[in-house]
Structure formats: C-alpha cells, structure tokens
Chain A
Amino acid sequence: MTNPNPASGSPDKEPATEAQEARSEARATPTAPAGDTERAVTTTAPKQPPAEGPRPSLGRLFLENLWAANTVTVTVLAVVLAMLVGAVLIIVSDPEVLATYGYITARPADALNASWTVVSEAYANLFKGAVFDPDAVGFTAAMGPISETLTYTAPLVFTGLSVALAFRGGLFNIGAQGQATIGVILAAVAGFALPLPPGVHLLVALIAGALGGALWGFIPGILKARTGAHEVINTIMLNYVAVYFLSWIIVQSGVQNPTRSDAISKPVESSAQLPRLLGDDLRVHAGILLAVLATWFIAWLLNRSTLGFELRAVGANPDAARTAGISVTKTYVLVMVIAGLLAGLGGSNMVLGSTANALTPLVIAQIGFDGILVALLGRVKPWGVLLAALLFGALQAGGNRMQSYSGISLELVTVLQALIVIFIAAPALVKAIFQLRAARAARLQTSLAKGW
C-alpha cells in the first residue's frame, strides 16, 4: 500500500489531516458517508492510506452496507430471529407435533415434516391475514388483509409518535395508555352527545379526543417542570386513574347505552365517524391518513422547527439547553402536551373509526403500551415509528387469521412482538449472532437505553 501522506502513520486521531481529508472527500463526492463507512470497515491494516486506490462499485458498497450493523439490517434480522424463536414455540405448543419428537431417533422425517407443516402453515396464515391472500377472489377479499393491517396500524402510529416525541425531549412517556383513554372518552362523548352536522361533528370529536389526551399529558409535564416529580411514576399513576375513570363513566346514566345492561356506552353517531376509505365492507378508515399526516408533522416539528430544536436540545443535554437560554421547564410541559395530544388522537381512532363505536372498559386495548414498543422499534424517529406500527399492525391482523385457521393462539403474536423488541433492544446480541461488522449506526442504539 502506498502512503501519499507520510505524516499519517498512526491509526489514531490526527485532527488536522483527517479533517482536511474528509473535507476534500466531501467536496469530491456526495457519497462521502458511504465512503467513510467503507473506510472504517477496512481499517485493520496499520498503515492506512487516506484515499484508497479504485473506488468500490456501487453494488459492492450496497452489499457492504447491507451486512454492516446498520439500523435497517439489525431490525430485519431481529424480526427473523424472533420468528425463529416463534417457530420453536409453535412446535412446542402443539402436542401432536411434540409427540413425533418422542420417536425422533426412529423416524426423524416425521418430526421434521410435522414441524415444518405446522410452522409454515402458521406463518403462511400470518402473511395471508396481514398482507395478501393469493386464494382470495374479488376486490374486497384481496384488499381485506391490507385493510385490516392498516386499521390496526393507525392508532399505534399515534401512540408510537407520542412516546417517541417525549423520548426525544428526554422524557419517558409511559402514560400514552392513560392519555389515549381520556382521549377516547372525550371523543366518544362528543360523538354521541353533541348534535352536529357531519364533518363538523367528526372534527369536534377528534379535537375533543386530542384535548383530553393533551390534558392528561399536561399534568405530568407541569409536575415535572415545577416540582421535578418523575414523569414515569406520574404517568403510570395517571394510567390507573384514566382506566378506572373510563370504567366508572361508562355506567353513568347519560353515557351508558340504555338498551344494554352491560358496561357499554351509547354508540357514536355516524356523523362523527371517520369515513371508510374502501367501501363499507372493508374496515380501513381515514385514521390511517391522519396517522401519515401526523408522522409528517412530527418529522417536520423535530427536524425543521425551532420547537423541535429546543426539544432535542433539552432531551440531549438540559444543562446546555438552559445555558443557551432555552426554557427547559416550558419545553418539558410542551413536550408532554403534544405527546398527550397524539396519544389522545390515537385513542379517538379506536372509537371514531371502525374498531368500535362505543366505549367499553377495554375499548383501547393496549395501544398505549404497544406504543412504547412501536417507538423503540422505530428508533424514536417519526418515519421509523410509522413503519414499526405497520409491522405491529400486520402482526395483529395476521395473528387473528393465524388463530382462526391454524389454531395458534393470538398470544403468540404478542410473544413475537416482545421478542422483536428484545432483539432490537439488544443489538449486540443480533450483531454477535450474525457477525455483523461495526458501523456508525451502532452509536444510535445506545441512545435507546439512555432514558433510564
């Protein structure tokens, strides 16, 4: 190897030359970061010339990056690992298949065949229920799985964004569940109690839901800002308050459905419902459009707005933010209000969309807690959250079909989700298993664990 720069004998930091070199590289080609990664990857030889001979081809770079430990690769591999572990669980939980393992030494083919059949069938059904069923006939049947997936995705996007935004602001919002609960209550009450024309009614119901969530976010925000009370404790406690408030308010007269004796509220009027996008037979509704819009808005807010700048500065280093004149307390309150607002919208989706049209004690299911997982899986970035919510929505939709066709319980889907998040949260594990090369993205993962 020739060394055009005799001064750079050591692989250590050499601020001056490295800086100049990087600068000239940046000027020479817009793909400098990729080149950088490549250089970092191959820095094993002691005397590393700053500029390598022939520039590697684009395809080679792509392959290099594909197998480097970047965010996308780790995420995909985490999903693969989770499905492998899930396969083992499917086999173990099926007594018939398990029985074939009793005589595996005599007839190993039996065990392997049975395992393959049950696992492949389960995952095929998961896929068919979530994405596309090749046997489906007609538009409605063909679009069914996608429609289901998007229906489950929409609220998770909101709660995921809620947690992610708070996280970027340095706060751990465990309270998306409670904020969504208050949101769903106000949205539903506005939906059946107010006599308003279509359109306006929907808007008012959505705003009511958002305000409810915002209020539930404001409380821990102001407590944190004024008294330093830890937001984790307060949001968890407010979750309980919200859930029991929901149970209580459902059975109050004026709220409870007078024709029913069980705990269910009056139905939301059709004028306050989110319009369905693909006809009445498919459940997908305008909530998913709102979710995409919200993702775009949060992405803009974080990266292109002064508020987002403050929020990220406070999240990364509150002392420096304060010294630079940013009001940390104001930012904390705002972060929690916006986070609550998003979670409230997520809750509203559950009653104004097609999932349900009346309040029940379990109306919002686990969307708040799932939002934490979605946010972490999406690496607390808005578009990442959208993709993660899509994956969770797909697992949910596919899981329903897997349960009814393969007889595998829906809980397996929950286990799969948990496994994916565990593998994501332990990137070192994934990297060790697949022997990934270290890449710059590795720094990102540590930031996930920093909240505590």
Chain B
Amino acid sequence: MEPGEIHALLGENGAGKSTLMNVLYGLYQPDEGEILVDGRPLRLKGPSDAIAAGIGMVHQHFMLVPVFTVAENVMLGAEQVKVPFAGFLDRRRARREVAEVSERYNLRVDPDAVVEDLPVGIQQRVEIVKALTRDVDLLILDEPTAVLTPQETDELLTVMRSLKAAGKSIVFITHKLGEVKAIADRITVIRRGRTVGTAEPTASRDELAALMVGRNVRLTVDKEPARPGKPVLEVAGLVVDDDRQVRAVDGVDLTVHAGEVLGVAGVQGNGQTELIEAIMGLRPTLAGTISLDGESTHGWSTKKVLRAGVGYVPEDRSVDGLVKEFSVAENLVLDIYDRPPFGKGLSLKPDAIAKSAKERIAQFDVRTSSADAAVGTLSGGNQQKVIVARELSRPLKLLIAAQPTRGVDVGSIEFIHSQVIHERDIGTAVMVVSSELDEVIGLADRIAVMYRGRVIGIVGPDTPREEIGLLMAGITPDTAARTANEGGAAATADEDAAAPAPEGPGNEDEA
C-alpha cells in the first residue's frame, strides 16, 4: 500500500477478503506470515494495537450504539474526561472533534443527531469519522456499498476521493466491479484465500470477473425476445401503508404477462417492498385490487397465494427468506413442507425431504458441506441459491424476485439470472424488483419505474439509462418538457439535480 492510494480488494463471497482484513485489524491472529507497516513487521494483539499503528476499519455491519448521538458514538472507546478520575465526559470536546473531522474531509454529519434516526449512508459516515478521529493512515472499508443506495454509494465514493486527496490510504473491499473501476488505483483479486492477480482499473469488467471466479463469466444476460401470453398478475389502484402507517403504495396499476419479465426499478424505499408484500398477502391492502389469473386475491393468506403458484424470493434473505438455524434441507421445503411428498396430514417425511434436498443441491449448485448443515453457515450467494432453488422447484404461474442478487458474488449472479430467464421461457410471469438498474435492464422485457409509491412510467429495456434514471428521480419526459417550456433555467437546474442518480458507479455497464 502506498500513501494516498485506494487499493481495491476484489473476490467472491467467502474468498477470504474479510478474514484478511480482520487479521490486519488485529481481530484474528495470523498463523503464518508477517504484516509490514513502514517496513517494520507488526504483531497485532487486538484492534487497539491496530489503531495505534494507524489502521482503522469500517465493518460491513456497523458497530454503533443506536441510541447514542454521533458525538457519543465517536468518543466511545476513547472517552475523554474533563476532570481526571472524576469521570465527567468531555462531550464538548468530542463534538468539536467530530465537527473538525467532518469539516476537514467534507463529511457532513451532525454531531448531535441520534444514530438510529440516521439513514444507513450517514451511519456509515459516522463510522468513517470515528476511524478518522483516531488518526489513522490506513482505512479499511469492508463491503461499504453493500447496504447503500446508488446515491449513497456515489457520495461515499466522493468521500473516499477527498480522503485520498488528504493522503490517507484506503483498502476497499467489494465484489462490485463497477465501483472498483470507478475509484481504485490498484486492484488485487483474491480467490480461495490466495492472491490470484493484480490489475489496473483499466482492466475490463469481464477480465476482472474472470479473475475473481476463475473462469469466464457472462455479465450480460443472454435471452431470446419475450413471447408474452395472457396477463397473470393484474394490480389496479393499489394503496398500501408501510409499518409506520405512512402511505407507501399510492395507486399502482401493473400487469405482468405470462412469459415476460417485468422489471420494477426505483430507488429503494419508493414502495416496491410494500407492493410485493401486498401481492404476497403479507400486508393488508387499503384500496385497489390484485388478481392472479383473473381471480381476485383479496383476503387470501400468504399460504394460499403461494399455493396458487406464486414463487417469492424475498428482499432480505436472512430475515424473510431463510430460517438460519434450520438445515439446508429444511429450508428447501420451508413453504411446501406440508404437501406431498414431504408431508401428509400431520406427519413429515424426512426421507423425501432429504432426497429432494440432495437433488436440488446438485441441480442448483448449492455449495454446502451437507444437506443437514445449518443454512446460516453458508455464504450469502449459496443462501440465495437455496431460496431460488426452493421457489423454482415447484410449478409456478408467477415468480416475484426482490433484489435477487443483493450481496451475491458474480458467479452466483450469473446463475440466478439464467434461472430467472429460464423460468420466463417456460411461460411463467416474472416480476423482478431491484435497486440495481443494471439488473433490471439486463433481465426485464418491460420496466416499470416506481417513484413515491406510484408507477411513474413503464418503458422498454432499450430505453436509454438516462431516461430511466430521470424517471427514478421522479422526472417524467412530460414534466421535464413542460418545465422547459415554462422556464429554461428552472429545467436545467432540475435536470442537474437529478442527473447524478443514474450515473451511479454500479451503472457503468455500457462503458
């Protein structure tokens, strides 16, 4: 690592990136080998040694106390006291430090905000500020963009650039190729615990992906033109509230035909989650109708919706998709355990469950030590494959896949995408909801863009990304044109404001 360098560490899930960084941060002890800092070997016994050596880390899952303010979180672990031994906390000094650091690196955070009220992107910034107040020279960011929206990712990259300008070195761990190409000075690819190569950011995405996975990977989805059949899912005038009783879906009309993929694009939090949950019978509808194959699903239980031939890949696999303590085999029958051949009446048929698990593990290439292993021990990509295997191994009329490849490595993304397209080709209606524009454009035959609980436009997949990006920011061609007529200055300002959104780092496929 050079000073003032952004070094990207690239690798599949479970390749050993995080382990390596945990060794660097002193959380794990190396079995062999040395870490050299400024030419001197370093023995780290714990994170405090690492901080003393000028190494800071921002974990993938934030280590913040939700009910504390930003300043309190920043001083946590290095509390300053006013009167020695009396234990009065010097909050003012902590606040000043936060303000100073935010100022110096252009990281806007309010020292008095309570952490749990902040959006994820800002929380991450608090973590960075926390590391910077410890005077680190090397900052490790472990998959920082996994939880961020495209806009937040963009802001993070800006922050990283300003840190670089200030002479800090950054190790940036990720498996998103676009971000790496956007920001890294040097790229090291790790596979199965070994360095398999270094690359310049000028390397093409395909080259990087091949290095990561160890074989050639197709990043674009090959597919035939869709042959849409009759409408399977029809949503009309749907109104749904979210958990805080705030209107989340506000009059959505959608139709998904058999044999086509409808992509739902939109910045996260524009009602996509609530829309799907309403279709699945997980959330009450306040108005409007949902019908499946012409039959209204009003008042149906989730079980009935699933039984009617709807496959559902939930957005958050660890919360809604899997029971982590259950075995892979049990998770593979989580929604069909009570139907033949797996269950009959009150009794369960473990043999049938084990047999089908074995088949599906092979068919969907789930990498697990055995069918009896707890699903929580699998890597993210393999967990997602378990869900996909479960949903696709029964006859479906409609498949709803929400963020099907979030936090999943390149190899698994390719596989999941091909499975989704295969499902479409056998005549299933497919609805893919994703906040990754690339994914939506790659998979969908039609794209519905959601903005503030409404479908703001339905476009074809050949629509320019900029146009979809503008739609995601709530600007339809009509309104843009109208404002342009009314006053040119206002329109340009509007467009300028919206423009950064579609140009997120994840969206560089076309380059």
Contact = CB atoms under 8 A, between A and B. Distances in A.
Given A26-B370, A313-B326, A320 B321 contact: yes
Interface string B207-224: 000000000000000000
A307 B343 CA distance: 10
Interface stretch (A5-13, A142-150, A262-270, A350-358): A5-13
Interface in A286-342: 303-310, 312-313, 316-317, 319-327
A327 B301 contact: yes
A322 B369 contact: no
B323 A320 contact: yes
Contact of B193 (A9, A45, A312, A327): A9
A22 B369 CA distance: 5
A120 interface: no
Interface string A358-396: 000000000000000000000000000000000000000
Contacts of A14: 14, 16, 192-193
A447 interface: yes
A305 B346 contact: yes
A15 interface: yes
Contacts of A107: none
Contacts of B203: none
Given A16-B367, A22-B369, A306 B338 contact: yes
B326 A312 contact: yes
Contacts of A18: 369
B34 interface: no
Contacts of B194: 7, 9-10
Contacts of B370: 22-23, 26, 32
Nearest to A22: B369
A17 interface: yes
A97 B14 CA distance: 62
B240 to A, nearest CB: 16
Contact of A23 (B13, B312, B350, B369): B369
B322 interface: yes
B348 A306 contact: yes
B328 to A, nearest CB: 11
A127 B177 CA distance: 69
B280 interface: yes
A46 interface: yes
Contacts of A316: 323-326
B364 interface: no
B36 interface: no
B282 interface: yes
Grouping DSSP codes into helix (H, G, I), strand (E, B) and loop, the B interface class, with mixed when no group exceeds half, is loop
A19 interface: yes
Contacts of B320: 319-320, 322-323
A166 to B, nearest CB: 17
A310 B335 CA distance: 10
A325 B330 CA distance: 15
Contacts of A23: 369-370
A334 to B, nearest CB: 12
Contacts, number: 119
B435 interface: no
A306 B350 CA distance: 11
Best-buried of A18, A312, A323 by chain B (most CB within 10 Å): A323
B368 interface: yes
B397 to A, nearest CB: 16
Given A14-B14, A15-B379, A304-B348, A325 B326 contact: no
A325 B306 contact: yes
A325 B301 CA distance: 7
Nearest to A46: B31
Nearest to B330: A309
Contact of A325 (B13, B324, B335, B379): B335
A174 to B, nearest CB: 23
Nearest to B314: A323
B105 interface: no
Contacts of A32: 370
B303 interface: yes
B330 A317 contact: no
Nearest to A44: B31
A325 to B, nearest CB: 3
A17 B282 contact: no
A305 B280 contact: no
B382 interface: yes
A19 B303 contact: no
Interface in B327-353: 330, 334-335, 337-338, 343, 345-348, 350
Contacts of B32: 46-47
B334 A324 contact: yes
A22 B377 CA distance: 14
Given A9-B193, A23-B370, A304-B350, A320 B334 contact: yes
B493 interface: no
A10 B337 CA distance: 39
Interface in B167-199: 192-194
B14 A15 contact: yes
Nearest to B339: A306
B192 A16 contact: yes
A11 B23 CA distance: 12
Contact of B280 (A12, A45, A309, A323): A323
B302 interface: yes
B324 A313 contact: no
Contacts of B322: 317, 320
A323 B321 contact: yes
A439 to B, nearest CB: 15
A15 B19 contact: no
Contacts of B19: 10, 12-13
A323 B301 CA distance: 10
A443 B280 CA distance: 34
Contacts of A310: 337
Nearest to B338: A306
B193 A319 contact: no
B420 to A, nearest CB: 19
B323 A323 contact: no
Contacts of B338: 306, 309
Interface in B28-42: 31-32
B302 A323 contact: yes
B246 interface: no
Contacts of B368: 19
Contacts of A447: 325
Nearest to A43: B31
Interface string A23-42: 10010000010000000000
Interface string B254-270: 00000000000000000
Which 6 residue pairs of A and B lie closest in terms of their CB atoms, listed nearest first?
A10-B193, A46-B31, A325-B303, A22-B369, A324-B335, A12-B16
23 contacts: A10-B19, A10-B192, A10-B193, A11-B31, A13-B14, A13-B19, A14-B193, A15-B14, A15-B379, A22-B370, A23-B369, A46-B32, A306-B337, A310-B337, A313-B326, A316-B323, A316-B326, A317-B325, A320-B319, A322-B320, A323-B302, A323-B320, A323-B321
Interface of A: 7-19, 22-23, 26, 32, 45-47, 303-310, 312-313, 316-317, 319-327, 447
Given A317-B324, A320-B322, A324-B306, 20 more contacts: A8-B192, A13-B16, A14-B16, A14-B192, A15-B13, A17-B192, A19-B367, A19-B368, A304-B348, A306-B337, A306-B346, A309-B330, A312-B326, A317-B325, A320-B323, A320-B334, A321-B334, A322-B302, A323-B280, A326-B303
